[in-house]
Chain A
Amino acid sequence: MFSVSVLTSGCSKSSDSTATTGTAKGKKVTIALMPKSKGNAYFISCKNGADKAAKELGVDLVFDGPTDPDPAKQNEIIENWITLGVDGIAAACENKEGISTALRKAKQKGIKVVTYDADSLADARDFFVNQATPEGIGFTLMDEAARLSNSEGEFAIITASLTAANMIEWQKYIEQRRVEKYPNMKMVALRPCDDLKDKAQSEATSLMSANPNLKLIMAICSPAVPGAAEAVKQAGKVGQVKVIGLGLPSENRRYVKEGVTDSVILWKTEDLGNLTIRATKALVDGDLKPGATSFNAGDLGAIEIKGDNILLGKPFIFNKENIDQFNF
């Protein structure tokens, strides 16, 4: 499974001056942003969105994190930020429990704390910027499958394991959507690939020969998307059996461009960074308070808040037309 993150709109539309909120509240706000690891293209893309938002809002953005995912190093950096006296901290947490003590300490010192991509314990932060809800992922996958197969015919799902909680949750929403909107589509098989690309390829090969009318393979763990695509390509069934899935653009670019994989679903990482900074800034300014149900996020529009989760919104679909704009 790939690391959790939020959907964002990669190329933020120019919102000009309309969304600029008050820097009139005195000193310049400093927000510290922490990735799970610094060199990761996924988080670099998040940072690009964060930079844009920070520039627009007049925020001083501090970006630091471990070179490699390291919970202890994350704590160390947060301790430093507490000493520095930043106004807000936004962190993607490598270890839920591990980071919570440091974040709680920051909160006690009056620093506003937001998590994004991967959450801490709920009491250690004010809000979690949630990149994708299971409902959003499940519905988007099913809608995309239906669109590509004219809402009829057989499809199969390749998952990581039959026990992965997040995937069972996604399957629930996939099935709910199918029953409600696409009754002529039939799920003929569900196969686990143990989160391995090679095994996904073998599974997809047998799925195609065992189900000659199969029209689409939906791969819901990231290594399974290129695995299924390679199987379809080797079987000479490109176009006849379509491939969609949840994954990273970089792992699927080749197959998307060759027309083997039609759609890769994820969220826009730039929007995730953008929303995270906007939410943290609004918290610092007092414009966003616990209990709020929505939040005006400038160029991202009105954002829904469910409990203490700020929802990025519907996932983003990468396809032949747009995949080259994304490098993570």
Chain B
Amino acid sequence: MKYFREISVALALLALLVALAIVAPAFFQPQPLLSLATREAPTLIVACGMALVIICRQIDISVASQFAICSVCAGLLAAMKLPLVVVLPASICIGAILGSINGALIAGLGLPSIVVTLATMVTWREALRWQRQGEFVNLPDNVQWFGLSQFAGQWTVIAVAVVLLILLAIAMKRIAAGRFVYAVGSDAEAARLAGIPPQRVTFLTFAFMGALVGLAAMMNVVQSPQVDPKSGTGIELKTIAAVVVGGVAISGGRGNLWGAFAGLLLLACVSPALTHLHVDSYWEKAIQGMIILLAVVADGIRSKRGNA
């Protein structure tokens, strides 16, 4: 079945939600759910980019550091009383620059992405720690929720993420650039022979990833009156896990954004579900790990069968 993986993740999510509906119906109160969706919206934006990077047969583990740098820069610009119409593009540009650095090193010099992004992850993070000393950035009053009401602000953040997901999902299927990413991810040499420049595609994928991180950081900054310089810590693991659970092959060229979306929904529900089920928090990370392991094992079994 073509969408076997996406459907099985969706079914797992459904099973979790049904179990919660029976055992802990309080999970389905509108306010906490809206809050949960708003909190996860920036992660969804990063997960979209991560799906592209992984489809392109690369990986970016520096996204959390990019996220923190964009958050702090956006915060500092906003604190200088610059309007959001300036701060938002600035944050996206800073992200795109950081992404381009990764892209140039990986595509231009042909270095392995895991090593390059590991290095930039540590470099950006430590530079920021040195610069900020962990100090929060306090924002002016009109930044939170774009100056709208909390309700309108929350829906705006969610809408940005969801519209982006839909547009990108369509673009990956229908637009040449989207097909190029798949082509380079499945076989770079074949893509080159077909006239697709693999290096340029790889570079642009990383730059785009950075821009998405800048957007995501901004969607997170507007959710509170202060910016934590450690914002986004762990987002690389969460998004890579979501993408892999959602059926995007870590070997590149296969998978889609809807799977990544389903994977993220499943992982995002685990932590609040455990709180609602009053399960000891010691289990949380173990359960998340088990979900990822299951996904990878399923992948392994499927590709074995495919080869046989």
Contacts and interface: CB of A to CB of B under 8 A. Distances in A.
Interface in A209-267: 209-210, 212, 223, 226, 230-231, 234-236, 250-251, 254
Interface string B36-52: 10010000000000000
B35 A197 contact: no
Interface string B98-124: 000000000000000000000000000
B224 A197 contact: yes
A194 B233 contact: yes
A123 interface: no
B130 A198 contact: no
Given A37-B133, A206-B271, A210-B276, A254 B225 contact: yes
B230 interface: yes
Given A191-B275, A205-B32, A212-B26, A69 B133 contact: yes
Contacts of A162: 281-282
Contacts of B220: 198
Contacts of A205: 32, 35-36, 39, 272
B299 interface: no
A56 B150 CA distance: 52
A202 B224 contact: no
A194 B275 contact: no
Contact of B130 (A68, A192, A223, A226): A68
B304 interface: no
B35 A203 contact: no
Contacts of A198: 39, 220, 223-224, 228, 231-232
Nearest to A190: B281
B281 A209 contact: no
Interface residues of A, number: 36
Contact of A207 (B133, B230, B275, B284): B275
Interface residues of B, number: 33
Contacts of B233: 194, 196
Contacts of B230: 195-197, 223
Contacts of A72: none
A40 interface: yes
Contacts of B228: 196-198, 223
A8 interface: no
Given A209-B32, A209-B272, A234-B150, 19 more contacts: A40-B133, A189-B278, A189-B281, A196-B231, A197-B224, A197-B231, A198-B223, A198-B228, A201-B224, A202-B272, A206-B36, A210-B24, A210-B275, A223-B230, A226-B136, A226-B226, A230-B224, A235-B31, A236-B31
The 7 closest A-B pairs by CB, nearest first: A209-B32, A197-B228, A206-B272, A206-B275, A210-B276, A210-B275, A205-B35
24 contacts: A194-B233, A194-B234, A196-B228, A196-B231, A197-B136, A197-B224, A197-B230, A197-B231, A198-B224, A198-B228, A198-B231, A199-B234, A202-B39, A205-B36, A205-B272, A206-B272, A209-B26, A209-B29, A209-B32, A210-B27, A226-B136, A231-B35, A235-B31, A235-B35
